[in-house]
Amino acid sequence: MKELYEFMIYQNMKGKQIRLVAIDSTDIQTFSSKDRDAKYGHRTPSKREQRTLNNNAKTLFFGYKLHAIADAETEMPIASEVAPANRHDKTFFHRLYAITKELFHIHMNPNAKFLADSGYDAIDIYQELHYDNVKPVIAINGSGFYKSSVPKDPEYGKRWSIERVFSRLKEVFGLSENRFAGIEKATAHIYSCLIAYLIKYL
């Protein structure tokens, strides 16, 4: 399934000029509490859930995460990876960004920007983006030592494009309805949802 997804991206979007990309992850709960591949991880609760939780609260879940980069202007998921939920988001930046560079040459666009929340506020990420002359538009994570903040760049709001991609995948294409245990089967389910998304919107 993953190979088919990557083939579809390659065939239909290779060489396309991309200026804005957004990165994030979303939670995929496992079907079984006995799933040996799944791990506990944190997810950001929905706005509805946040009304009943403390500020900045995160909820624990057992399963996997889909890590993805999307074209922030067309809302197409252009690079993705599936992993147990305990893996930190920023560890997937380099692989997903490498795919984005290879297929879409974002590093050759003088107006390119990389949009991300504070989970990607890391020195090595800034260094790689600056090396490629891609502007990092990333929220600052205060980590309790100083005040967290969001960028003043007027295009930072387009970061929500990746959230809309995840929302469609869950609400329209069944991403939230995982009925499988084990990372191989869960990954097949996740990529089948991504393929359906591409068929619909490419």
**pLDDT at position 95, please?**
97
How big is the chain by its Cα radius of gyration, in Å? Answer: 17
First vs last Cα of the chain: how many Å apart? 17
What is the C-alpha to C-alpha distance for residues 125 and 163, in angstroms, rounded to an integer?
Answer: 21
State the amino acid at position 47 in one-letter form. Answer: K
Tokens for 162? 């990746």
Domains of the chain: residue spans and CATH: 2-201 (3.30.420.10)
User: Taking Cα atoms as reference points, which of 92, 101, 147 lies closest to residue 120?
Assistant: 92
What is the C-alpha to C-alpha distance for residues 79 and 121, in angstroms, rounded to an integer?
Answer: 20
**pLDDT at position 53, please?**
58
Report the chain (202 residues): mean pLDDT per 10 consecutive residues.
Answer: 94 89 97 96 72 64 97 97 96 97 92 96 97 97 80 96 97 96 97 98 90
What is the C-alpha to C-alpha distance for residues 76 and 202, in angstroms, rounded to an integer?
Answer: 8
What is the C-alpha to C-alpha distance for residues 150 and 118, in angstroms, rounded to an integer?
Answer: 8
Q: Are strands 76-84 and 59-71 parallel, antiparallel or unpaired?
A: antiparallel
